[in-house]
Structure 1
Amino acid sequence: MKALAICCAVLSGLWLAGCSSMSPTVDGKTHVYSLKQQCPNLLEMNVGQTLMFAVPENPSTGYIWQVVKPLQIFKVDEIYQQDQVKSQKPILGAGGEKLFRFTALKPGEELIRVKHARSWEKNALEEWSCRVRVSSFL
């Protein structure tokens, strides 16, 4: 009976730890996500930390990834890098990867929404979102 109580206590502790909204970071301050790795229901960050979101993109098709609306508590950097074949120059029309870097500038809560669409069309092919709460303490 005592072993069962200890086992239940350990499992409860692991379950509660799993419910934490803090995500693992790469270097203690950078949260990394992709289309395959979704953001938790509420990601908790501190001022100065970074959320990175990387997705494949081929702008020559007209479809690009873009932030849906301007953000108030994040600085946003967008970096596109075309895929390169070894020993070849960049190829016209080749795809690549788009990296969004969201750096928390001040405390608050905000919904980051990114969509993959053509600028002249109403509907997006794909969307990604992440609700983030930024705290002021480091």
Structure 2
Amino acid sequence: MARWPDDDVILYDGVCIFCSRWVRFVAARDKAKRFRFTPIQSEYGAKLARTFGIDPDDPDTNAVIHGGEAFMKSDAALTVLSLLPGWGWVRMLFAVPKLLRDPFYSLIARNRYSIFGKYDSCFVPDADLRARVIE
């Protein structure tokens, strides 16, 4: 399994409105500023995506690097949430088999643009969040 030298990095689709809202949701609750973010459209994000088998031109998942390991689909979302203050209870959702969690995740991911919309270019975060974005 590939490893990544940076830790607690969230890879997201920067033109996806839902994905960008996810980044803002996490950043607002991550008081320790543990997580950093990288859009898949950036050079760094595309390299990270390719390392873990995600097509940067047609991403079907977000990912989080935690402990040097990549978590994708529902594992990524649950890992991030479980590391946020007050969200530790989410860990119990890992008991639900991936065979049940991931198809639901994939359904939303496949239809995210038609459900939530799409930006013409990567969203531009405010200055505070911008300091946590790796490009």
Superposition TM-score, scaled by structure 2 size: 0.23
Q: Give 1 or 2 for the bigger CA radius of gyration.
A: 1
Greater RCO (Cα-Cα under 8 Å, separation 6 or more): 2
TM-score by length of 1: 0.23
Higher normalized strand content (fraction of residues): 1
